[in-house]
A and B are shown apart, each in its own frame.
Chain A
Amino acid sequence: MLALPRQLRARGVLGINARNTDYVQLYNSRHLYPLVDDKLQTKRLALDAGIAVPALYGTMVTPGETKHFAELVASHDEFVLKPAHGSGGDGILVFTGRSARRRGQYRLIDGSFMTEAEIRFHATNIISGRYSLGGNRDCAMLEYCVRADPVFEHVSYRGIPDIRVLVFRGYPAAAMVRLPTRASHGKANLHQGAVGVGIDLITGQTVHGVLSSAATDEHPDTGELIAGIQVPNWAKLLELAARCYELTGLGYLGVDIVLDRYHGPLILELNARPGLAIQIANRIGLAERLRRIEAKPASASVADRLTWVRAAFNES
């Protein structure tokens, strides 16, 4: 079944063309892209601003440096290997431990094992630009492996759910949580089959789910209901997301946050071209909210912005 353009307009649904011309191109200066495209740079910026991020264990910038891999992760059983310029979660490996029986075998989140040589090869691939936009040289990052807050445990298949907040000119406009599934191989990426669940901006409760553009009310693997889950620390999480505007200067920003069992909300990465599935997850067209935010002054403080958002986007 197809929707009519008229119907979508009536619901204020933002299309990809409008997103590109009216928001991304207008509010995101090209020269700011490297700040978010390079996750290493984002992390350093965040650390300087005192914004919580997963700890960095080390980087590998040249293929030769991959020989230090074992040293870098020597004191960590769990860690994540990822490209600094990756997109869509491509090229990310999540390790949850080592093999007890064989040395140099690392256990992946899906239970399979990789040898050190294989991991180093993967790192070399990352460095040579396999996962970076345009195939440019990249660097491989090793960082803290987030231990997911148990709140989403019953609606996740392995992996770590992450929360995407769409921040427009510093004002949170919409939010959703992305739950990994068997199909997404434990990755919180909607393209790869993760479930997206809208979150009410005011209450921090999950609402509807979306699985590859279709509505869903339960997790495809666990069968648990996905609506009505209260996200802990919601106020802090929103504030963290809103502060990313000052951090980067990007007007139309997707902020990806993970809920760590021990450290609370952590900024995982920022996205200068956040997708539009967040609309389906919330059943809310973005156009109206974005228009209202557009009319607000740019220089408001973080607290003022959040106060306004709570009043303005109160749907109930």
Chain B
Amino acid sequence: MQRRELQVWLVALLLIVAGVSLTYYKHKTLGFPLFPDSDAEVWTVEATLNFEAGQGPIKARMFIPGLTPGYAILDENFVSRGFGATPRYVTGGREVQWARRRAEGPQALYYRAVVYEDPGRRGEDTTPPLPSSPLLAEPFNTAAQMIVEDVGRKSADPGSFTGELLRRLATPEADQNVDLLLDGETEPVAIAETATSLLAAALIPSRMVRGIYLQDQSRRSAVAPRLMVHDGTTWLYFDPATGEQGLPDDFLLWWSGTDDLASVDGGRDVDVRIAVSSNVVDPVNLARRRSEVREGPIAELSLLALPIQTQAVYAILLLVPIGALVVAILRNFVGVQTFGTFMPVLIALAFRETQLLWGIALFSTLVALGLAFRFYLERLRLLAIARLGAVLTIVVLLMLGVSVVGNQLELESGLSVALFPMVILAMTIERMSTVWEERGAGDAVQQGLGSLAVAAVCYAVMDLQVVRHLVLVFPETLLIVLALMFLIGRYTGYRLTELRRFREFVKQEGGD
């Protein structure tokens, strides 16, 4: 007996550990939310390429986000009526190519991406080759050499070199060499381009990248440049306008290089507009998509990978063990009597559709009417199976009647009666009438009320948002339910009702 006890506890412990750790893994690593209301933010970025189609074939290309440190792409699509769209990797990152033999008038091509924050996502980590010194004509070459030497003296490494260089480029009037090279340009893009040349002269690999700030509801996001500098081990990011190092949290890297965002062969008046909007998505969905992108083995085995209809079925089925747990607790710890062991669970499932009060009202009405018919059938002396079949038929007719009358009275809840499991209803009526005859009306009503009460508690628990969320998103929590069942199964203490049943023992004790 000791060994049996130990075994139950061990198995239960194992199940709980397995359930909790799987849940923890899915929550921590895959990002499935533990609670239903923690909505995650995603950004929808939409780039619209507008141009005027000319004569002849059209070939348009536009950079699209590829490597996006700090962000991950959840979903992307191209809307381009009549154009063939081909995304591909190119030197500057990724681009989409749209092609069409003939088009007329203004054209609009869309690229839409849904991105979410993913701190784990890093930028490029390949070490670039050393750049060759730019070929500059005099006097630019001398000016560049002087700046590089000067900055080199006041810096220790590529990082500080770039910082110092950008500081000087920001104030061209202080140094005539800088002024010469910039030639009056103050645009960040021009500064970044000049900085790239100067860094190359100092044999520091660098490149200009461009991206947008993910700020809510900007109809026209400005494309901002960033300077990427390789310090021998990693890439550093600099804001060419201010010299600040680092990448802002809301910066979405779009493409690299000096090329324009988009260009169109066979079209004119090219204009790209980037709109950003944030929206709140179901974090479960986000986690699922995210794990799909990562292709983790556990994610692939997830329930959420199933078709939606199947998921809907499981959303209900997975609640049944929860109901069974409630029944086990109410029966083994409290001692409530019910008709049939798990009938209350099925009734509770029906309550999910009808809502509790309506459910109880409808259920009681149906059982009461059914019982009345059942007592009449008793007088007809029918064989048991035929009689049960008759009760079943009457139950279906009653359900139909309630639905029709409910519809006439414009009570929508009347229609939901169809969701009651009719076989369960028929069995309940049959069992209740038997108990009624054998044990009296008192016992029958008591057990009927017991069943209803247990069903109501089951419903209340199964209807909790948290419970529904947990079993659907973390079906492994059912392992914990299983463990609890094991432990309840070994409970040898008294039931609540027994404390009343055996009260005589205490009375006698007092009298002694």
Contacts and interface: CB of A to CB of B under 8 A. Distances in A.
Interface of A: 1-5, 7-8, 11, 13, 15-18, 21-22, 26, 63, 88, 90-91, 117-118, 121, 124-125, 128-130, 135, 191-192, 210, 213-215, 279-280, 283, 285
Contacts of B384: 125, 128-130, 135
A8 B498 contact: yes
B509 A7 contact: yes
Interface residues of B, number: 31
Given A3-B506, A17-B332, A213-B500, 7 more contacts: A1-B507, A5-B499, A13-B494, A15-B498, A17-B492, A210-B504, A283-B504
B372 to A, nearest CB: 20
Contacts of B508: 215, 283
Nearest to B385: A128
Contact of B503 (A1, A128, A130, A279): A1
B89 interface: no
Contacts of A279: 502, 505
B504 A5 contact: no
Given A128-B384, A129-B384, A3 B502 contact: yes
**Closest 3 A/B residue pairs (Cβ):** A128-B384, A18-B492, A15-B494
Nearest to B435: A90
A7 B438 contact: no
Given A3-B502, A8-B499, A215 B494 contact: no
A16 B505 contact: no
Interface of B: 1, 332, 335, 381, 383-385, 434, 438-440, 443, 489-495, 498-509
Nearest to A191: B439
B interface SS class = helix
Contacts of A15: 492-495, 498
Given A7-B509, A26-B1, A128-B383, A213 B501 contact: yes
Contacts of B490: 21
Nearest to A135: B384
Most buried by A among B1, B332, B506, B509: B506
Given A1-B506, A7-B506, A8-B505, A90 B438 contact: yes
A128 B493 CA distance: 38
Contact of A16 (B495, B500, B506): B495
Nearest to A212: B501
A129 B385 CA distance: 9
Contacts of A4: 499, 506
A192 B438 CA distance: 8
Contact of B499 (A2, A11, A121, A285): A2
B498 A11 contact: no
Contacts of A192: 438-440
Most buried by B among A2, A11, A215: A2
A12 to B, nearest CB: 9
A125 B432 CA distance: 16
A130 to B, nearest CB: 5
Contacts of A280: 501-502, 504-505
A26 B494 CA distance: 18
A11 B1 CA distance: 23
A280 B507 CA distance: 11
Contact of B383 (A7, A13, A124): A124
Most buried by A among B384, B440, B508: B384
B492 A22 contact: yes
A118 B378 CA distance: 11
A49 B490 CA distance: 37
B505 A283 contact: yes
Contacts of B499: 2-5, 8
Given A4-B499, A15-B498, A124-B383, A213 B504 contact: yes
Contact of B492 (A21, A129, A283): A21
Contacts of B494: 5, 8, 13, 15, 17
Nearest to B494: A15
Most buried by A among B335, B499, B509: B499
Most buried by B among A15, A63, A121, A192: A15
A135 B383 CA distance: 13
Contacts of A3: 499-500, 502-503, 505-506
A17 B508 CA distance: 24
Contacts of A90: 434, 438
Contacts of A8: 494, 498-499, 502, 505-506
Contacts of A215: 504, 507-508
B9 to A, nearest CB: 14
Nearest to B491: A17
8 contacts: A1-B507, A13-B494, A22-B492, A88-B438, A91-B438, A124-B383, A128-B384, A192-B440
Nearest to A285: B505
Contacts of A11: 505, 509
B330 to A, nearest CB: 13
Nearest to B383: A128
A225 to B, nearest CB: 18
A280 B495 CA distance: 16
A240 B139 CA distance: 125
A17 B509 contact: no
Contacts of A191: 439, 443
